[in-house]
Structure 1
Amino acid sequence: MAYYQNRTKKTERSCYEAALHLLKYRGQSEMEMRRKLKERNYGEKDIEDTLKKLMHYGYVDDESLAEDVFRSFRSRRCYGNNYILQKMKARGLPCPYRIPEEEERDNAFRVLAGRAKVMPSILKNYRKAAAFLLRRGFSSSVIHSALAEAGVEDEFPNW
């Protein structure tokens, strides 16, 4: 029992030291940092002072982090704007960036072609192919044009 009590005991680190430790692994947004420090039972005043200090030194910069995260997702070329926006919002980051529709359509076609190599039957089922691309965050107009380009026939062409 004593082992578990020691594991849950708050360490003697200051709030600022804990924040620097978190930043060692990856960039953190202000929202993420606030939540993680709160989970570690630091006081509200300590958290505010720490965040002000981190922002002053540029260790926590949501705009810069948002640009880096967006650039990272965009370079993978396998996600649509909706997916990227959702992931960035979950991290508390602003997302003023968008992938151009033409590039997003090319990405959707490329992702679908890659999936078809593993699972060729996807090109015969419009719903499965559309659902696959939808989960990747592509918009419905992009999905429709990518499926048309891939030759996947719409089950309901009159709709």
Structure 2
Amino acid sequence: MNYRPQSEYELRTKLARKGYDPDEIGKVMDKLRHYGYLNDSELADDLFVSFRNRKCYGDTYIHQKLKSRGLHTNKHLTAEEEIDIAVSLLEEKVRIKPELLINYRKAAAFLLRRGLSQSAVMTALREVRTFEYED
């Protein structure tokens, strides 16, 4: 059986769905925090680092994923990291679909869906286009 760390929000939701009393849930959360089994800030930071290391998602996407699990972190990708991610994603996608070199709207949409900033997307489109035509 696979286990993954869960946030307090996720655990509270599951227990409430199973019909547990809110007071009981609160006591359980207190005990889990006390024994170190529940630490949302540590979990959020770990997940952020994990997403950043995958190098295929932008800051917006990462923070939306964290928010959906009831988590928050003050960490953010730098502009340079987002540009690097956007360029590498676009170069990889262009190898599979070369028509993206001339269809900027589809290329931009692909990168924006990955949660990359508009400035990173525009920079990546310029860099990949320049790189491809230098051959």
Into which bin does the TM-score normalised by the smaller protein fall?
A: over 0.9
Query: In structure 2, how many angstroms separate the alpha carbons of the residues matched to 1:118 and 1:149?
Result: 18
Query: In structure 1, how many angstroms separate the alpha carbons of the residues matched to 2:39 and 2:16?
Result: 19
Post-superposition CA distance 1:12-37 (Å, at most 9, x none): xxxxxxxxxxxx71111111110011
**2:90 alignment partner, one of 112, 128, 135:** 112
* 2:120 alignment counterpart: 142
Post-superposition CA distance 1:30-71 (Å, at most 9, x none): 111100111111111110000000011111100100011001
Query: In structure 1, how many angstroms separate the alpha carbons of the residues matched to 2:74 and 2:4?
Result: 22
If asked which structure has higher relative contact order (CA below 8 Å, sep 6+), I would say: 2
Letter in 2 for 1:109: V
Question: RMSD of aligned C-alpha atoms?
Answer: 1.1
1:1-159 equivalence runs, <5 A: 25-151=3-129
**Runs (4+) off by over 3 Å:** none
Q: CA deviation at 1:120?
A: 1.1
Q: How many residues align?
A: 129
* Structure 2 length-normalised TM: 0.92
Query: In structure 1, how many angstroms separate the alpha carbons of the residues matched to 2:19 and 2:81?
Result: 45
Letter in 2 for 1:52: D
Q: Which runs of 5+ in 1 are unaligned?
A: 1-23, 153-159
Q: Which runs of 5+ in 2 are unaligned?
A: 131-135
> Identity percentage over the alignment?
49
